[in-house]
Chains A and B, each alone.
Chain A
Amino acid sequence: MIFNKRLVLAHFWLAFIAFGAAILLGEWQMFIRSPLHGWLRNADLYYRSVTAHGTVMGYVFPTLVAMGFGYAVSELSLGRSLIGPRWAWAGFILIVIGSVVASVPIAMGLDSVLYTFYPPMIGHASYYLGVVLVVVGSWIWVALMGVNMYAWKKANPGKPVPLPMFATVAGAFLWGWTAVGAAAELLFQILPVALGFSSTINAGLARVLFSWTLHAIVYFWLMPAYIAFYTIVPRAIGGRLYSDTMGRVAFVLFLVFSMPIGIHHLFADPQVGSGFKFLHSVFTAMVSVPTLLTVFTICASVEIASRLRGGKGAFGWVKALPWGNPQMLALALSFVMLGFGGAGGLINMSYQLNSTIHNTQWVTAHFHLIFAGAIVIMYFAIAYDLWPQLTGRAMTDLRLIRTQLWLWFIGMIVLTFPWHYAGLLGVPRRMAYYDYSGPNGHTEAITVIMSVVGGAILVISAALFITVLVRNHRGRTADVAPYTFSRAIHEPKSVHWALNGLGLWVGLMIALTVTNYAFPIWQLIKLHEAQVPAVYVGGDR
């Protein structure tokens, strides 16, 4: 059972409220940039909105979901109350304070720097301090996850750590290390300028440090979704997990390969050598290994469920799957989006093909399809699965849930497919307005209008999601069955030590960070010509 229900609920609700607000900003941005609206007279409003949307959706929302889910997984899978709940609350409060401290100056127009910071642009220090507080709050969670797993291991020598906890701690350690890049950028480069101690900044170094965080953060967002694939879905649809070991291997591979790949975001940056760009490109390709292992294992797991229900034949079993089950539906829709998003990602990570889509709307479409699509739909599934445990009330709105999931999927496809195409046509990203009177303008205009419609569908879906959760709080209390995670076909009796702890893989993660990042960072630190004057935003206007 979940012992600290209020703690978990606080994280989830703050995450979903922030998500509900930020999705409205997203749709507004899509609308005012489309031909349906005249050009925005004060472009800064758009950049404020993008900064807020990105900060909430990229930093606050997924971090809170991962934290809340992590606390729940720790208690449910280890069967004991969380060690350090006061610390957990302290982390939560830091995130609340950080979110307020960051969002107020954004709304005032003092920090329209976008959530990727874009040095040498420098805004008011308050925004950066807010982001730092959010990161520090999440580091408390990282430490707590490690402490809880190792305390359990000490109390249960030789027993395998349950897969959900093992994966959660892998995700936590990944985040702990990957956040170091952006934290170093903020603390040593941006904040000194924002606070007035310096007026120049090494923009190239800042970008390299941000890339340290920027790609691995995606796998941190992804972890809860993958944990749900392995440990929730097979149980929820009445099947078995095909392989516990495969799950462990996939999670440790994510730990190892998420880090040494971020420079594929900098293919167009002249300050990084082509050799390192190629190296990062190769390692990015390696991330497909744990992804494909997961797709294989999960497909095998649902096939087991289907055959147990009487599914027959080479493909006939697909029909016998419990399609009415929200977890099954969410998984299938997530996989479709992951497939398309992954295919697009292969273009992004390829050193040569990247140049055709670099900094176009394609990129925005790609990460919306992967993150807002494949990953967030699993966040919904996680909430639906955990909510009865948290409220003690049965989840009865299955029809509404299915509608919500379908709308999210349809909305995301309608949003992102034309959006990718707009990028192929060369429409740049992050523009407050766009001139559709060019030679290709009508095609671009149609694709953007389609995306506006897709965004509207997503807003409806998000509203339905909040409705389902609120209705559950008001529903009848019920005897909720004890929570279980998926059981593997061959349940692990003992696990090789390397797959029962994370020491080796954390070591490899750090070692590969050193091989792939140390030289570019060292070289740029030494390159004093790389210091450029800060460009202050949000001053007098």
Chain B
Amino acid sequence: MTHLRKPWWRDRIVGGSLATLAMLLLLSGVVGFVWLPSAQNDARFKGILDAICGAAGIPRGWLADAVPPLPTPRHVSTVVLTPDTLSHDAPGSIGRGGTLALKCTMCHGLRGVSTSETPSLAGQQSASIYKQLRDYQTGARSSAVMEPLVKDLSDQDLKDLAMFYGSLPREPARDLGNAPDIVAFGSPTRNIAACGSCHGGMTSKLGAPWLDAQPRAYLRTQLLAFSHGTRRNDTSAQMRNVAANMTPQEIEQAVEYYGSGR
């Protein structure tokens, strides 16, 4: 059977469906974009247009005319690490870094493997090395030895050094099977993430250096410096928070685990 069809827009079912949906859309739109936002007692959202724009999610500044934050009396890290930080290195970067690194061999070893209590740099993440060098330069991290050594180096010099050390072979990270709990699990209730979730073993994160086979004395000094707040170039205070919540035993366990390759 063929029945004569009215044009679709004049059909009862179609018209009814469209009208119902349009009503629903309109009603919830009025409630969600006008009524509810207007009911919020927010000094910055007055008027219908303001309410609609706010509810639509258009970004706007709450603090535009507030007092700007006070400058801090200390040097803070200015390095912003992104996956691109060292990816646009100039050709020959590693070679130039190798030449510059002749100044570093006394403490950090001929090929980046330290035999003293300074950290080994061979195979270290380039981004981490670069960040620390920049922080020494700006005074965000202090060291009587390192600061004068990097003072006159250019930004490209620092990148070259980082690329050179990053290109050397590193001690492979160990499986976490025998790691102490603080390294493998951290402590969830005390807001301590597992060391291995950033520093290798489980996964690695940009800017978090490998810790395997670093000197015990160096690891201990740095953890204590973070926990006392005397080292503060971890941009979001993540290491200060972690170290401050670690017990002395946990610090020793972590030091022993990562330093045991020495």
Cβ of B215 under 8 Å from chain A: no
Residues of B within 8 A of A512 (CB): 21, 25
How far does the alpha carbon of A282 sit from the alpha carbon of B206 in the complex, in Å?
42
Among the 9-residue stretches B66-74, B177-185, B245-253, the one with 4 or more Cβ atoms under 8 Å from chain A is B177-185
Interface size on B, residues (CB 8 A): 51
How far does the alpha carbon of A196 sit from the alpha carbon of B67 in the complex, in Å?
41
How far does the alpha carbon of A504 sit from the alpha carbon of B18 in the complex, in Å?
10
Residues of B within 8 A of A274 (CB): 32, 36-37, 54-55, 57
Q: A39-B185, A508-B21 are in contact. Are A523 and B11 (CB under 8 A)?
A: no
Bits for A6-48, please: 1 = Cβ < 8 Å to B, else 0: 0000000000000000000000000000000001011110000
Q: Is the CB of A273 within 8 A of B56?
A: yes
A34-87 interface (Cβ within 8 A of B):
39, 41-44
Residues of A within 8 A of B58 (CB): 273, 523
How far does the alpha carbon of A283 sit from the alpha carbon of B27 in the complex, in Å?
11
Which residue in chain A gives the minimum CB-CB distance to B200?
Answer: A541
How far does the alpha carbon of A39 sit from the alpha carbon of B84 in the complex, in Å?
36
Q: Is the CB of B83 within 8 A of A536?
A: yes
Bits for B88-125, please: 1 = Cβ < 8 Å to A, else 0: 00000000000000000000000000000000000000
How far does the alpha carbon of A536 sit from the alpha carbon of B84 in the complex, in Å?
12
How far does the alpha carbon of A123 sit from the alpha carbon of B2 in the complex, in Å?
57
Q: Is the CB of A435 within 8 A of B188?
A: yes
Cβ of A238 under 8 Å from chain B: no
Cβ of A278 under 8 Å from chain B: yes
Q: A158 to nearest B CB, angstroms?
A: 5
Cβ of A482 under 8 Å from chain B: no
Q: Is the CB of A199 within 8 A of B84?
A: yes
Q: A435-B188, A504-B14 are in contact. Are A273 and B194 (CB under 8 A)?
A: no
Cβ of B226 under 8 Å from chain A: no
Q: Is the CB of B83 within 8 A of A433?
A: no
A437's partner among B31, B189, B203 (CB-CB below 8 A) is: B189
Q: Is the CB of A278 within 8 A of B28?
A: yes
How far does the alpha carbon of A42 sit from the alpha carbon of B202 in the complex, in Å?
6
Q: Is the CB of B8 within 8 A of A275?
A: no
Bits for B188-221, please: 1 = Cβ < 8 Å to A, else 0: 1100001001001111111000000000000000
Cβ of A359 under 8 Å from chain B: no
Residues of A within 8 A of B32 (CB): 274-279, 282
Cβ of A479 under 8 Å from chain B: no
Which residue in chain A gives the minimum CB-CB distance to B123?
Answer: A540
How far does the alpha carbon of A343 sit from the alpha carbon of B37 in the complex, in Å?
28
A43's partner among B14, B56, B187, B197 (CB-CB below 8 A) is: B197
Among the 9-residue stretches A138-146, A220-228, A299-307, A494-502, the one with 4 or more Cβ atoms under 8 Å from chain B is A494-502
Cβ of A167 under 8 Å from chain B: no
Cβ of A438 under 8 Å from chain B: yes
B25's partner among A157, A515, A540 (CB-CB below 8 A) is: A515
Q: A278-B28, A534-B83 are in contact. Are A498 and B37 (CB under 8 A)?
A: no
How far does the alpha carbon of A434 sit from the alpha carbon of B5 in the complex, in Å?
64
Q: A276 to nearest B CB, angstroms?
A: 7
Interface size on A, residues (CB 8 A): 52
How far does the alpha carbon of A493 sit from the alpha carbon of B3 in the complex, in Å?
12
Q: Is the CB of A519 within 8 A of B13?
A: no
How far does the alpha carbon of A156 sit from the alpha carbon of B165 in the complex, in Å?
75
B1-44 interface (Cβ within 8 A of A):
1-3, 5, 8, 11, 13-14, 17-18, 21, 24-25, 28-29, 31-33, 36-37
Cβ of B176 under 8 Å from chain A: yes
Residues of B within 8 A of A536 (CB): 83, 206
Cβ of A233 under 8 Å from chain B: no
Q: Is the CB of B57 within 8 A of A520?
A: yes
Q: Is the CB of A523 within 8 A of B203?
A: no
Q: A279-B32, A541-B201 are in contact. Are A41 and B57 (CB under 8 A)?
A: no
Q: Is the CB of B54 within 8 A of A273?
A: yes
Q: Is the CB of A279 within 8 A of B29?
A: yes
A498's partner among B13, B21, B201, B206 (CB-CB below 8 A) is: B13
Q: A143 to nearest B CB, angstroms?
A: 24
Question: Can you list 9 contacts pairing A with B, beta carbon distance less than 8 Å?
Answer: A42-B184, A276-B32, A279-B29, A282-B31, A433-B185, A435-B189, A493-B1, A494-B3, A498-B11
| Further 18 A-B residue pairs, CB within 8 A, beyond A276-B32, A278-B31 | A199-B83, A199-B84, A199-B87, A272-B57, A274-B54, A275-B32, A275-B33, A276-B57, A277-B32, A283-B24, A283-B28, A433-B185, A498-B11, A508-B18, A512-B25, A523-B58, A533-B83, A541-B173
Chain A interface residues (CB < 8 Å from chain B): 39, 41-44, 157-158, 199-200, 256, 271-279, 282-283, 286, 431, 433-435, 437-438, 493-494, 496-499, 504, 508, 512, 515, 519-520, 523, 527, 529, 533-541
